[in-house]
Amino acid sequence: MYQADEKRYETMKYHRCGASGLMLPELSLGLWHNFGDTGVYENMKQMCFTAFDNGITHFDLANNYGPQPGSAEENFGKILREEFSAYRDELIVSTKAGYDMWPGPYGNWGSRKYLIASLDQSLKRLGLDYVDIFYHHRMDPETPLEETMEALAQIVRSGKALYVGISNYDGETMKRAADILEELHCPFIINQNRYNIFNRTIETNGLKQAAAERKKGIIAFSPLSQGMLTDRYLNGIPKDSRVNTDGRFLHADQFSEERLNSIRSLNAIAAERGESLAQMALKWILRDGIVTSVLIGASRPQQILENLKVLDSAPFSEEELKKIDECSLAL
């Protein structure tokens, strides 16, 4: 059985999640890709070991992560049972529901029936009595927001989650949700949203400002824009890239000449800082102290170790931030 590194807490930085008592590591591990049925179980284990040995205590899932849906929770549940059982109280395990999970009208969106049933299924797959954070995964335009938020509050009262969060909400809806959850005395502490140098939607839709004002945490996913903000595409699209092997989220038509030139210019700024483009992109998200944690994905342990180097990187100068904006905002 796995034994964790005794020095695992010596280098990681932890940030308070909004005004709550919960601390999250600066980097968290997302299990969206590479933990489903198509992944290699031994590699999954080694990635989790590498993460925890370096102070990454937060492991983020959703009911539909795979492929197949549910398989990431099943695989991580096996790792929890076989390797991490002695460390459960040192781990933050989160999961979500909100996207299509099973056939029929009760396996999607934000009804009380769906959210409670989905979490019950997730807990079985994970082999846990509770998760630390349970998220509603996306806004539901049809279900009353009050019903969705009341379901989250009921989940906490039942002991099946310690805290709740919302994901892919805009600022105005987040504030409405926060008001409802506050009246219900439900510990809503965190927002999970896409955020990176190329995608700044949470700045334009008011979510980032609203989270700061309401003292709620933010955890950013897709920090490297599905791999665009790495050195992988400096010379075009490699044959073995995700564009060619899994075209669900990254497409060849996204790589215009302007985009490629932007990536190259950003890479040059990173090189001047003595960093990889990926490391600079992660640091950029954390630049102003509003984002609590960044969700990194990985296909092998070495990628996690490379990302961890951001912990020691220098803060940005105003000139560097201006250059990054000039390279990215014009697209």
What the chain holds in terms of domains, given with CATH numbers, is: 14-231+282-315 (3.20.20.100)
DSSP label of 316: P
Does residue 238 carry a pLDDT above 90?
no
User: Which tens digits make up the pLDDT trace of 312-325?
Assistant: 999 999 999 999 99
C-beta neighbour count of 90 within 10 angstroms: 12
Does residue 162 carry a pLDDT above 80?
yes
Q: How confident is the model at residue 233 (pLDDT cuts 50, 70, 90)?
A: confident
Give dist(CA 267, CA 280) in Å, integer. 9
User: Which tens digits make up the pLDDT trace of 116-132?
Assistant: 999 999 999 999 999 99
- SS3 of 220, please? strand
User: Which tens digits make up the pLDDT trace of 184-194?
Assistant: 999 999 999 99
How is residue 33 written in tokens?
């890709």
Give dist(CA 226, CA 230) in Å, integer. 9
Question: pTM for this one?
Answer: 0.94
User: Which tens digits make up the pLDDT trace of 67-114?
Assistant: 999 999 999 999 999 999 999 999 999 999 999 999 999 999 999 999
- SS3 of 11, please? coil
Give dist(CA 128, CA 267) in Å, integer. 42
What's the average model confidence in pLDDT over 268-293? 97
Q: How confident is the model at residue 257 (pLDDT cuts 50, 70, 90)?
A: confident
How is residue 89 written in tokens?
């109280």
Percent of the chain scoring above 90 in pLDDT? 89
Q: Which of 207, 206, 228, 204 is nearest to 216 (CA)?
A: 207
Instruction: Please indicate whether residue 225 or residue 241 has the higher confidence score (pLDDT).
Output: 225
- Within 8 A by CB and 6+ apart from 328, the residues are 197, 198, 262, 266
Does residue 242 carry a pLDDT above 60?
no
- SS3 of 15, please? strand
65 near 73, Cβ under 8 Å?
A: yes
